[in-house]
Every structure is written in C-alpha cells, then in structure tokens.
Structure 1
C-alpha cells in the first residue's frame, strides 16, 4: 500500500515536470529515503484545483414549511406554546405522545393529555405534540430534547476523576462521505473557525481504513478494525451484540464521570444496525435512534422538523 501510494504521489510530481518515468527504480527512489528508511510523503493537494472546482455546484438553501411556524417549542427542558400561534389561532391545548426504546427494533409509548404551557418534560427525550386550537385548527410535530437521567448524573458524580481532568465536554461530529478537501471547500467558515479560532490540529495524514461507514467509524470509536473485533454481523447465528464485545470509547467516558449520547440521523441506515447486530442494551445515556425510528414512519421530508431545518434543531438545540 505504501509503495503504491508513493508511486502515485511521485507520478503527480513527475507530470508537473512534463516527464513520467515508470521504472521500478524511480518508484523505489521516491518511496525510500537514501538511508533505506521507509517514508510516507503526504501529497499537498490544491483545494481549489480547477479540474475539481468545475464539477462542483451549490444547492439551493433548504426551505421548510413557510406557511406557518411551529406552534410549540422546547427550551431548558420545558414545553412551551408559541405566543404567535396563540395570537393567530386563539387558545391552544396539546397532548404529548411519548415514546422510548424497548430494543433497537421496538418502541413503547404513552400519552399525556392537556399538557400545560411551560410543563417540564419527563420520562423520555422524545415525543410528538398534538395540538388543537380554539379556531378548530390542528398541528403536530415531533420533538427531541434531553431529559436529565438522574441515575446517570449520580453515577457521574460518584465516578473517580483524575486530578488532571479538564472537565471539558467532548463532541465527536462525523460527516459521512465527506473528504477533508471537500470539507474545506463547502464548510469554509467552519474550517476557518476550527483552524484559526480554536487552533485545531488537522490530521493531514489521516485516511479511511476500510470501505464503508462502519469500517471508518469502528476504528474511531474502538481503536480496532471490524476484522480485529469479534463477529457482529447479524446474518451469522453466532454474532454478538456490539455492546457485549466492542470497547466503545463512550464506556471510557462513562467510567470517568461523563453522561453520554450517541446520535445519527437515520434509523433505517444505522451504522451499527443496518449490517451489524446492534445493541441489546441502550449503548449510551441518550440515544437518537429512538427518535428516528418514529420519525421515519411519520415525516416524509426528514430534512425538516416542522418549519425548522433538521440540522438546526438537532445540532444546535441539543
């Protein structure tokens, strides 16, 4: 692999000089240092290379339901009816259809009737609000929030912490099928903020270690490849559940006093449930698969949650 990579890098450089030497000796010269030490040269690629830029396009901005804004919202763990909705429709009464995880394939639910404005959200992170107004109109929408897990909080408080602990929150945010260069092209403000404001370390030599989302994600979360770990592919009878055999990094955080969450924006194509066996116990304190199992039944355009873009609701509100 290193030999092939070095050959490709060298060919690119050779073309810049309008010469291409395909001899093995030339390839080896660019793969090994004179001392015989094997080295890896990371290619310095042009972010704005004309051959790539000409193929790019910018999609139109996402617009959700512009007819009417959401009637209700969640703030600081409480459910509120929007003043604007009351001005337009008169008094509004809402019921909550709460749902929670039984397994990776099953949900349970209940209904709370006549939820008062400002009510504390309890029991589940996820619910659908069903509202009726004085002028006989109806509105409903799904909500995802964070209901404090008191047992997890007490466990976190009791956890033994290192004297060197920084107490920083940790967020691992993954964009699937997005290269480093494309991130720089399409998320320019985010990249600038990371590099200049936060002085982030960019791992320029990082590359995928397999073809597919699980093959990329598993090493990030476990420090091992799928082939190095016990079998978890669901089509095999002797396959194990992931939480029984995978050393997921969130276990390390739980051990050191963190409350954890795993979230991805699809249940049907879940990284650990589409081809793999999934989890027989909820893997983290908060788990967004539950929300999307219900959302995929109800919402046709899952890029929007009511009148708001999904990415705004989930990346910023949570």
Structure 2
C-alpha cells in the first residue's frame, strides 16, 4: 500500500482539548492590565493620618516608654500618666482593670493596655497599645528553639486579593518576593469555596468546611475550638504561636459565628481591636466605617484623617508592627504566626496599592534582620475581588477564583533538599488548591523534607504537598475544586436573548427561591429582572480537527457529541436588583429535571442591609427583606 493510501485508510484519530473539571486543567494566561479591566483601575490618594506621633510606645522588650523629644517639643509639663491592663472577656468584649500610675520606663506584664496621660489642661494621650508579653508564656510553656531542622512558619495574608491584583497593585512587594527573596508565586492556585471561611479552613485544618470531616458543631452557638487547626500541632511541638486579624466584625471565625472560647494562640490580637471599638464606639462603628471607606474610594474625605488610620498610624502598619514585635521578642524560638488583614482590601481592591511600600518593607525587614534564615514565609489570600464591578468581566471572574499565593523557602533548605525548590517551581504552573497548601504546612511542621515517590496513578490525593511533584494531568475534580470555582474552563459568549439562556436563567432564579422557602415570611420571592451576560462553557471534549489524522474513515465517523451542556449566566433579580452568577448544567433544555446548579449561586454586588431580617449567613446574599418594599 502506498504511503498516500496508508495515510487515508488509517483508523480515525480525533484530537480533543479537554476543558471540564474531570479533564486535564489548562491554566488561564491573563494580562493583569488587559484593556477590558482598565476602567476599574485607578490610583487612590495616600492615607492621611494624624500628624502628631504617639507620646507613648511599647518597645520590643515590653517596656512602656515616653517620647521625651516630643514631650519637650509640645512643652508638656506636669505630665501624669497611668495605664490599665485590658483583659479578654470572650470574643466580643474586653474589661479594663484599675488604673496604675507610672513613670516611664516600666515593664508591661500584659499583651494589651490603655494608656492615659494628662496635664492641667486635660487629657493629651488616650491610646490602646499592644505588647508581646513573653515572660508569662516562657514561664508556663516549654518552647523549643528554631533551627535548620525546626523552621518557623510565617503566614501573612490580605483578604480578597487575586494574583493578578497583586501584580497590578503590589508590584514592589511581588518583585521583592520573586526576585530578592527567590520566592515562588503560584499561577494555578484556586479557591475551593465562595468566601474566606471554606478556603482558610482547608488551609488551616486540611478539612472541608460544612462536612463530616470536622467535628459536628453549630457554629452560631458553639465555639470553633475543637477544630484541628495547625497551630495546635505547632503548640504541641513547642512552638510559640500568634494569631492576628484586623476586622473583628467579619473575621474568619466570628462572622455570624461564635468564634473561639479560649484564645487560639499564645498571642491573640482580636482584643486590641475590640478595645479600640469599646473606647471609641462612634469612630469605629462598622456602618460609619463602610460609608467613610466608600467615600474614600471616591476620593472624598469627610474628616481630617482617613478611616484607615488609628490616630497617627495606618492600621495596617500597626498590624505589621505587632507581627515584627512578636518575631523580635521570640527570636531564636520556634514560632508559628498567622496574620490576616481585611479592612484595606476586602471592599475596594484599588486601596491595595497603598500598602505596597509597607508590605515590601516588612518583608525586607524580615530578610535584613535574619528572620528568614530558619523560616518559611507564606504570602497569600483567600480569593480575588468578589463584590466589585471588575467581578462581572471575563477576567474578573477568573481573578476571583485564583487568589495570591507566594512561598519563600530558606536557602539552606533548598541547598540540602534541591528537589523541594525544583518541585515547587514546577508546581507554580500546575493546578493547586488550599488543600495542597495545608499539606505543605504540615510537611514544614513535621520537618518532612525527604523526597517522595512521584504520583503516577489515580485516584490522586485531594491534597498534595507543594514539595511533591503535582501531576500535569490533574483536574479540578482531582483537586476537589467544584465546577463553579474551577478556572480551567474556556467560555464562549452567547446572546442574552437566546432561548436556552432565558430558560436556564428562570431555573436559576427558581432555585434561589427554593432556598428562600424556609424564610418566605421574611424574604421576598425573587423574579428575573434582566439577563446581563451569558457564556457557554466549552467543557468536555472539543475537537481540533486540524491537528487530527486525515483518513477516508473521517467521512463515516464524527466525534461523539457532548450531551451535557453548561452555561455561566449573570442575571439581575427583582426586587432589590441583586446580581447573581450561576453555572447551570443540563442535558435536555426541555426537561427541567436534567438541570442542575453547579455549586452555589454567587452574589456579585453588595447586599448591604437588604437582608437584615435574616441571621443565616448563607441566606444573607440572596434575601431581600419584605419590610423594605413600599
């Protein structure tokens, strides 16, 4: 048989590109400055705080001191000062112990105090100060030293930051991490849940939220303490621990939840913010803060100082100072620290650029003072922007699903175990998830850096340490990333007037109403107001005929057609004009029983007070309270 006839009579070979959660993931390659999103990007004005610095401060040794030069400059005579130790009374309250008169310098035997200084003219200082009171911890706990075998674990996170947003808004920080610290930034790190909680539960416990994998708790009435958080393992092994968040109203474990009964770590910063709000309830009111932040986002300032300040300092800088004080106080001791900043990045992504210099300088301080020599640094987020206009663009939807994750390893670890750096670098281009990050953290805590056998056969583990080689053919299904959060899809725009789109939109709205059935006496029944955008998800198998093998048998055979179809729809409902995004799967558009929502319907604009009549967190994004209808 001639070569020509052999070519034309070979068996049919169709070449497909797989794009659904059960097939190999191709990571999106997006431009963070794409023209389609430029209109959402602007440069906010710098944070403006009180120009007069603090008259009192606590140094890294726990000593309360007076700024003498400032006192002399302000000509403050007959200054009388006192402090009150502040104690935690549960998650949402603190108590102030009796005043103690002092003349600085004086050691502070507590993590938190209120300082008040007066002259004949009145109060000149009323300030909440944090401290790292180490003497009590070291007296009551056996703490081990850090070493090349026992590494510190430093986790530093911002809420709602995608990798692309970090590239846009934190260029100095990202350049310092990737170039100066030789860090690795993961291109395929993907969220597994719709908000902070499920993503960080997976990171911190390795478990799936709202599942039987975790102790059965009613989180609205029971404390989260029984959960197997990684800091418990660290503490058990002799680490000193720190946990800090800056926005108590919507913190990870106390947002419509009861939070922690006992402090989760040796040093817990939440009472610092609770104390501020107790002393200044008007200035720290969350609704007022949101209004001021909204106006600040519009470059409108009502007050003299930014709501992002506490007196003379930006709040995020104070947060970093607390982190630095913890690290300095326990230098040479084994440390676990988890820090989460929410205020500045949660609502308005453009504010993120205001922390670029400070974040870079914080990491630079870690390097210059040798704190990274025996430490692993994790710089991360939970998801991208979820409630901003950019979220409703094609790139924005990918951004939401792909948060920031950068990892810096100590040089001696990479030299001793070169496979760690090799695998980590390869894994920056693989599909990864919070479950993988947890496995990595456990390897660090267990000092398990030995080379493992390559994973070659399914079923793949749900979580795979980033120190191991993650399979190239990994799918979202392999990684337990639900279809609604998988960013590996390709999509094709479809007319909003398409009949299929209309039917699926009505199905999505009906599904929302079914969830509201249990509170139908409080929440309005929603109706479809408008279809904003629709895309057909090109998942499953897509035939690339031009790469296939030509044969006469092609005339008799065609690729098997995909019977399942998926659509991503952005729609608006009435009343309330909520924007919802839904992914719907079906096999027969005329058969409602074949339709299924993939994951939860996501609210993509702010609901503010629309759902004030319900307390369940899952219902708040979808409820429009009846008492608002005139």
Category of TM-score, reference length = shorter chain = 0.7 to 0.9
Q: Do the aligned residues in 2 keep the contact of 1:243 with 1:281 (CA within 8 Å)?
A: yes
Match of 1:31 in 2: 18
Name the SS of the counterpart of 2:49 in structure 1. Answer: coil
Q: 2:204 aligns with which of 204, 221, 224?
A: 221
Q: 1:49 aligns with which of 24, 31, 34?
A: 34
Match of 2:309 in 1: 304
Match of 1:73 in 2: 57
For the residues of structure 1 that align with 2:217 and 2:45, how far apart are their CA atoms? Answer: 40
For the residues of structure 1 that align with 2:27 and 2:267, how far apart are their CA atoms? Answer: 39
Matched, 1:109 2:96: yes
Name the SS of the counterpart of 2:185 in structure 1. Answer: coil
Deviations 1:184-226 (A, max 9, x none): 1111111111111111122221111111111221111111121
CA RMSD of the aligned region, Å?
2.6
Deviations 1:220-259 (A, max 9, x none): 1111121232344434xxx642112x11010121122211
Match of 1:156 in 2: 142
For the residues of structure 2 that align with 1:83 and 1:164, how far apart are their CA atoms? Answer: 42
Deviations 1:148-190 (A, max 9, x none): 1534565333x6x899623x43221121111111011111111
**TM-score, length-scaled by structure 1:** 0.80
Of structures 1 and 2, the larger Rg is shown by 2
For the residues of structure 2 that align with 1:151 and 1:285, how far apart are their CA atoms? Answer: 7
Q: Do the aligned residues in 2 keep the contact of 1:93 with 1:132 (CA within 8 Å)?
A: yes
For the residues of structure 1 that align with 2:188 and 2:199, how far apart are their CA atoms? Answer: 15
**TM-score, length-scaled by structure 2:** 0.42
For the residues of structure 1 that align with 2:135 and 2:210, how far apart are their CA atoms? Answer: 35
TM-superposed CA distance for 1:136, in Å, is 4.6
For the residues of structure 1 that align with 2:135 and 2:251, how far apart are their CA atoms? Answer: 24
CA 136–279 in structure 1, closer or farther in 2 if over 3 Å, else same: closer
Q: Where does the alignment leave 5 or more consecutive residues of structure 2 unmatched?
A: 1-13, 285-306, 326-630
Q: Do the aligned residues in 1 keep the contact of 2:192 with 2:199 (CA within 8 Å)?
A: yes
Match of 1:125 in 2: 111
Match of 1:295 in 2: 276
Q: Do the aligned residues in 1 keep the contact of 2:246 with 2:319 (CA within 8 Å)?
A: no
Q: Do the aligned residues in 1 keep the contact of 2:116 with 2:123 (CA within 8 Å)?
A: no
For the residues of structure 2 that align with 1:44 and 1:136, how far apart are their CA atoms? Answer: 60
TM-superposed CA distance for 1:57, in Å, is 1.0
Deviates more, 1:108-117 or 1:215-224: 108-117
Output aligned runs, 1:223-302, within 5 Å: 223-228=206-211, 229-235=214-220, 240-244=222-226, 246-299=227-280, 300=283
Match of 1:9 in 2: none
Q: Do the aligned residues in 2 keep the contact of 1:218 with 1:226 (CA within 8 Å)?
A: yes
Name the SS of the counterpart of 1:30 in structure 2. Answer: strand
Which structure exhibits the higher relative contact order, with contacts defined as CA atoms closer than 8 Å and separated by 6 or more residues? 2
Deviates more, 1:72-81 or 1:133-142: 133-142
Deviates more, 1:246-255 or 1:68-77: 68-77
For the residues of structure 2 that align with 1:63 and 1:232, how far apart are their CA atoms? Answer: 43
The number of equivalent residue pairs is: 280
Deviations 1:252-276 (A, max 9, x none): 2112221111110022222101222
CA 279–190 in structure 1, closer or farther in 2 if over 3 Å, else same: same
